[in-house]
């Protein structure tokens, strides 16, 4: 499968080969769902907590005597049945992390790339680096290729200055080819890929 490469000013340059094993497979929505759910679960902090009856303030003294009052038996003020008492079965700090098989993650990434290719949402441009680190320079280049809506750029390497330039653009995500995440990639309405990153993706996910 071939796709056009564009220059930074938006002009067509030449064709590049996309691996059918990465950009042309049958889309597995199940694997995409599992990968995104896993990423969102792993992001959860899990710090929600309530106090149990052993942690709330209050006396351990019995409210009133056991017999002779005509009322139901009552013990400590810390009981969950009392106002200001402990909470029974409330949330406690925990980890929401869990593991998804590597094959499922790889299939999810290939499925998303194939889905974006079939929807004509992938655009390959020549390699660039924002050496000034300025948002204005990156924005002017981006608007030659996409509208101002959810966009993902897949870089050929971890370019600190380019990523710094993109931090202030709310609708832009910058990912390195070997550190993709399914959530951002799937919900990106446009996917821009560095020319060099194409061969890296072909090699990484074809094996």
Regions of the chain with pLDDT less than 70: 207
**Domain residue ranges of the chain, discontinuous segments joined by +:** 2-26+106-206
Tell me, which fold does domain 2-26+106-206 have in CATH? Ribosomal Protein L4; Chain: A; (3.40.1370)
Chain segment 12-26, per-residue pLDDT in tens: 888 888 899 999 999
Cα distance between residue 198 and residue 80, in whole Å: 60
CA triple 187-15-182, angle to 5 deg: 20
Chain segment 147-161, per-residue pLDDT in tens: 888 999 999 888 899
By CB neighbour count within 10 A (0-12 exposed, 13-18 middle, 19+ buried), where does 55 fall? exposed
Instruction: Give the pLDDT confidence score for residue 11 in this predicted structure.
Output: 87
């Amino acid at each position: 499968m071939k796709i056009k490469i564009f220059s930074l000013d938006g002009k067509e340059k030449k064709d590049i080969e996309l691996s059918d094993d990465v950009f042309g497979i049958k889309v597995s929505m199940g694997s995409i769902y599992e990968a995104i759910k896993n990423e969102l679960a792993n992001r959860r902090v899990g710090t929600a907590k309530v106090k149990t009856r052993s942690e709330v303030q209050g006396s351990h003294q019995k409210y009133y005597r056991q017999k002779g009052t005509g009322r139901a038996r009552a013990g400590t003020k810390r009981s969950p049945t009392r106002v200001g008492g402990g909470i029974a079965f409330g949330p406690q700090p925990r980890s929401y992390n869990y593991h998804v098989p590597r094959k499922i993650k790889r299939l999810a990434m290939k499925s998303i790339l194939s889905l974006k290719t079939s929807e004509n949402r992938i655009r390959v441009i020549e390699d660039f680096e924002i050496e000034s680190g300025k948002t204005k320079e990156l924005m002017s280049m981006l608007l030659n290729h996409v509208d101002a809506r959810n966009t993902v750029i897949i870089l050929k390497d971890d370019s600190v200055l380019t990523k710094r330039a993109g931090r202030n653009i709310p609708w832009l995500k910058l990912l390195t080819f070997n550190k993709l995440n399914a959530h951002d990639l799937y919900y990106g309405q446009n996917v821009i890929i560095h020319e060099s990153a194409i061969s890296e993706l072909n090699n990484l996910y074809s094996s």
